[in-house]
């Protein structure tokens, strides 16, 4: 029996292209992860097909396929955990919404008062809330 290498190679190219389209075009993080899995399965198909075609006595292609499957399982586990955490915090798993979570660098790090009153997390609103708190307590007791 002779294996024609063209059939699994064409199937692998089609799988990889569908996965690449899914990664580039989808907005849902779950669908992006599924597309990455399609791309990894295309690579696995090529590894096994070339292993059989070359008649490797060590079966290195199949060993690499098992390694790739293990890496894919770890990747999907970590990826789903990240997607669930983002969904709990944001209420959406859209990839475009994740761009808003990036921290932007400060334009001018020396933008605080000379006495260091403005530190991380301190704003003018906090100062007005502290000044208004005694007045609110006085109104509540009256």
Q: Chain centroid to CA 82: how far?
A: 7
Q: Which of 120-142 are b and which e, b meaning 16 or more Cβ less than 10 Å from the residue's Cβ? A: eeeeeeeeeeeeeeeeeeeeeee
In this predicted model, what pLDDT tens digit does every residue of 46-82 receive, in sequence order? 999 999 999 888 999 999 999 999 999 999 999 999 9
Q: How far apart are the first and last CA of the chain?
A: 96
- Better pLDDT: 105 or 111: 105
Residue 66 · residue 40 · CB < 8 Å: no
| pLDDT attached to residue 8 | 95
Q: Which helix (H) or strand (E) holds 98?
A: none
> For 10, phi and psi rounded to 5 degrees?
-65, -40
Give the largest CA-CA distance in the chain: 96
Q: Chain centroid to CA 33: how far?
A: 8
Is 90 exceeded by the pLDDT of residue 25? yes
């Amino acid at each position: 029996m002779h294996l024609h290498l063209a059939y699994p190679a064409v199937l692998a190219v089609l799988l990889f292209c569908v996965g690449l389209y899914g990664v580039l075009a989808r907005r849902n993080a779950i669908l992006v992860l599924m597309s990455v899995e399609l791309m990894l399965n295309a690579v696995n198909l090529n590894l096994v097909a070339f292993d059989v075609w070359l008649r490797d006595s060590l079966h290195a292609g199949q060993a690499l396929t098992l390694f790739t499957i293990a890496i894919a399982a770890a990747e999907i586990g970590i990826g789903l955990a990240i997607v669930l955490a983002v969904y709990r915090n944001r209420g959406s798993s859209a990839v475009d919404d994740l761009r808003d979570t990036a921290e932007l660098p400060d334009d001018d790090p020396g933008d605080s008062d000379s006495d260091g009153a403005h530190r991380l997390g301190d704003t003018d609103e906090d100062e007005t809330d502290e000044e208004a708190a005694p007045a609110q307590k006085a109104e509540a007791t009256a």
